Structure 1
Amino acid sequence: MPPIETGSTLLIVWAVIGYLLGSIPFGLLLTRAMNLGNLREIGSGNIGATNVLRTGSKGAAAATLLLDGGKGALAALLARYLTGEDAAQLAGVMAFFGHCYPVWLKFKGGKGVATFLGLLLALAWPVGVACCLTWLVAAALKRMSSFAAITAAALSSIWAFVLGRPDAFLLCVILTLMIYWRHRDNIARIKAGTEPRIGQK
């Protein structure tokens, strides 16, 4: 992790900003705006892009993916530009946390994959690109978004070292643990052979 050079008060401010940005439920907002139904009653009920795809709208799913990734990147980049690397990593983690546990939805949010990839692309783009490619390869092999997510997360800390970003190692470990926690039900279904495939309604 980077050296802690920012004062505690300013770090708290960035943590709150990151959380609030991350907690914007773009998937839910887009499906309502496009009259695609109540996302909470579709598929897994999740607010992420994979579940939005189950509405049948690829456009809405793509927009959700970009916006969920973008909010993580925005939180990290704003904090880096205005304060420093320590604030950027904290804001990024809190954006991820905000997506998973948004106050507006009684702390029942998404699983954070797009936000995870977005903030890694912003903070350490080679690591982010490697994780995106890992996700694509794993998804192509298994046709399971959850399998691709946990694979990309598991390799993220390794990519951080291999690609010369050891300062991002702890960040990747924290995000990986959170992604595995958020995907614990998916992992159980993968083991049982009942996990839905990408695009399956």
Structure 2
Amino acid sequence: MWLLALVLAYLVGSIPTAYVVGRYIYGFDIRRRGSGNVGATNTLRTMGTIPGLVVLGVDAFKGVVAVWLGQAFGGPGLAILTAMLAIAGHNWSIFLDFQGGRGVATTAGALLAMAPLAALGALLIWLVVVIFSRYISLGSIVAAAIAPFLVIYFHRPWPYILFTFAGAALIIYRHRPNIERLLAGTEHKLGERS
């Protein structure tokens, strides 16, 4: 049952929401537009607000489903593994030749299922950074860096703390191109369309 939960989590995470919306509703491959990233931010820039919110919601829900699977079949220990596999599926989708997004929304969904108050705190931090800087990537990086300490503050089980540190490290690692553009002053701001 553990193996089944892990496989299902990866497959759920691999569903390329942004690609599906772009390809089958708007008629283009999102990997060839904007940043080429298969995530909510690039969807927002290339397709608009409503598609961006849809992709954000579905990608976050993938993380929630993965945690539910883990909790149902094995408890917190399995839940962190199913969550990480869903994020891996999003970042390296089997349906897109192992290409994908940055994993922010899917990680946020998993965090919401594990530690709702910590997730809310991370969301507020993300909002403040994005509002004042207009950089979505910077908001994601800062929120990811602070999220593990929020999970500790709210006394969640140690597997969830471990997951949040791992998820934050992966988010920051996946944002290396964004960090380079932020340092160079060439990163796109919120409201700039590709």
TM-score range, shorter chain: over 0.9
Q: What is the distance in 2 between the residues matched to 1:127 and 1:63?
A: 23
Distance 1:141 1:135 in 2: 10
1:47-126 aligned at under 5 Å gives the runs 47-126=38-117
* 2:185 corresponds to which of 193, 197, 200: 193
Code of the residue aligned with 2:109 in structure 1: it is G
Paired position in structure 2 for 1:179: 171
8 A contact 1:22–1:97 mirrored in 2: yes
Query: Conserved in 2, the CA contact under 8 Å of 1:18 and 1:92?
Result: yes
Deviation at 1:65, TM superposition (A): 0.2
Partner of 1:169: helix, strand, or coil? Answer: helix
Q: Give the structure 1 partner of residue 139 of structure 2.
A: 148
Work out whether residues 100 and 112 of structure 1, in 8 Å CA contact, stay in contact via their aligned partners in 2.
yes
Residue in 1 aligned with 2:29?
A: 38
> What code does the residue aligned with 1:31 have?
G
The structural deviation recorded for 1:53 is 0.9
Counterpart in 1 of 2:122?
A: 131
Structure 2 Cα separation of the partners of residues 28 and 56 of structure 1: 11
Q: Percent identity?
A: 36
Unaligned runs of 5+ in 2: none
TM-score, normalization by structure 2: 0.94
Please say if residues 143 and 198 of structure 1, whose CA atoms lie closer than 8 Å, have aligned partners that are also in contact: yes
Contact (CA 8 Å) 1:22, 1:99: kept in 2 or not? yes
Q: Please report how far the alpha carbon of residue 37 of structure 1 lies from its aligned counterpart in structure 2 after TM superposition.
A: 2.7
Report if the CA contact (8 A) 2:9-2:83 is conserved: yes
Shift of 1:123: 1.2
Offset of residue 199 of structure 1: 2.7
Q: Describe the superposition over 1:8-61 as per-residue Cα deviations: whole angstroms up to 9, x where unpaired.
A: xx4333222111110100011012222253211211011101101112421111
Alpha-carbon contact 1:73-1:118 (below 8 Å) kept: yes
Q: Is the 8 A contact 2:5 2:73 kept in 1?
A: no
| Superposed displacement of residue 166, structure 1 | 5.0
Deviation at 1:155, TM superposition (A): 0.3
- For 2:2, which of 11, 18, 34 is the aligned residue? 11
Runs of 4+ in 1 over 6 A off after TM superposition: none
1-structure distance, mates of 2:178, 2:48: 23
Does the aligned pair in 2 maintain the 1:69–1:114 contact within 8 Å?
yes
5+ unaligned residues in a row in structure 1: which ranges? 1-9
Q: Could you say which residue in structure 2 is the equivalent of 1:7? A: none
